[in-house]
Amino acid sequence: MIIYSLRIRALAALILLGVCVCGCTRSAEVQQETVTVIDQLGRTVEVPRRIDRIAALHHFGGKIVYALRQQDKLVDQSLYSMEAQAMQRVDERFAALPKLLDGREISVEQMVSLKPQIAFVYASFDRAEMKQLTNAGISVVAVRGETLKESFDAVNLVARVLGCQDAADVYVKDCTALLSLVDQRLKNIPPDRKARVMFAGPKSIYSVATGEMLQTEILELAGAANVAKGLKGFWTDVSPEQVALWNPDVIFIGSSLQTYGMDEVVRNSQFATVAAIRNNRVYTFPSNIGWWDYPAPHCVLGVLWTAGTLYPERFADVDIVKTADEFYAKYLGYSFTSMGGKL
């Protein structure tokens, strides 16, 4: 009887201890209202554990929020330029949202009035404005994507902040699958047979993507070489003589912001001797509703398009428009063609 009584008391003590431990754990969880993350500028940021209101002050962060299917929490449009215009045509809710970033100016007062708990900004965002937002009680998380690794890291960072890692895993897996498809089709191209490409940028035909930019990685993943890889900076200006000296096999017109077009390249007398002009190999990178060469993991579509454009015989069975439709529908909510996208 004494042994039995001791067992009962021991069991009761264990049950009581378990209740206390569980109670402490639940209490700690309730008390822990924030999560600490390290953003892509190396800043330590405390963010709310539960987030219902998001601002994204760059299309990169906005597209990731959409890809993670958290767009219903956005207090602003968070997509910009032609992509915003396309979304306005198909989504009434999006069209009704305010636009916080007009060009490079942001209204801090308007943003504060929308009461976002968190703002995703690009790493190049003005530090003084970041401080203003932080002082206004908004957690500011910087993201960046000048390489695909950085882009995938950004996806995982945003997912950690928003508590949706499963969605991030699916997104990264789909992006990686497209890259693997391209790699399988191109892996036996000898280095001396790879297309030599000049990637022209927004300012003029003479502004080119350098070796420090995402466009170089896109080209290399697509089995090409950037003739301007040795340059540094961001959309560096070069001379007509330099273009002639490079003599690229192909010219891509990237995010030109409609400042120039195909005719201005093809009819440029200074390019008359360039192989890309002589062989009619000048192409406009997909951009009419959003650039496929801009930072964000969706640029994997740009890798697929580039590879298919440079080596069409290796991708004859791949319907890139269909692939884009499926990708957009899954990660932006509407198909590429329904938004007005064209290749």
Residue 118 phi/psi, 5° resolution?
A: -145, 150
Question: At residue 138, what is the residue type?
Answer: I
Tens of pLDDT, residue by residue over 111-135, are 889 999 999 999 998 899 899 999 9
Q: Is there a common fold for 32-163 and 172-331? A: yes
C-beta separation of 75 from 54 below 8 A:
yes
Tens of pLDDT, residue by residue over 299-314, are 999 999 999 999 999 9
Domain regions of the chain by residue span: 32-163, 172-331
| CA 266 – CA 185 distance, rounded (Å) | 30
Q: Is 50 exceeded by the pLDDT of residue 108?
A: yes
Tens of pLDDT, residue by residue over 254-298, are 876 667 778 888 888 888 899 999 999 999 998 889 889 887 778
Contacts of 293 (CB under 8 A, 6+ apart): 199, 209, 214, 215, 218, 252, 254, 255, 285, 287, 299, 302
Burial zone of 184 (CB within 10 Å; 0-12 exposed, 13-18 middle, 19+ buried): exposed
**Average pLDDT in the 127-155 region?**
93
Task: Quote the mean pLDDT of the chain.
Answer: 87
Q: Residue 59 corresponds to which tokens in the numbers above?
A: 């299309």
Domain 32-163 grouped into CATH 3.10.20.30: no
Domain 172-331 grouped into CATH 3.40.50.1980: yes
Tens of pLDDT, residue by residue over 6-18, are 343 443 443 344 4
Q: Confidence class of residue 100 from pLDDT cuts 50, 70 and 90? A: confident
| CA 85 – CA 97 distance, rounded (Å) | 12
Closest by CA position to 246, among listed 301, 205, 307, 187: 205
- pLDDT value, residue 11: 38
Choose the weakest-confidence range: 34-38, 80-84, 319-323. Answer: 80-84
Pairing outcome for strands 195-200 and 250-253? parallel
C-beta separation of 138 from 111 below 8 A:
yes
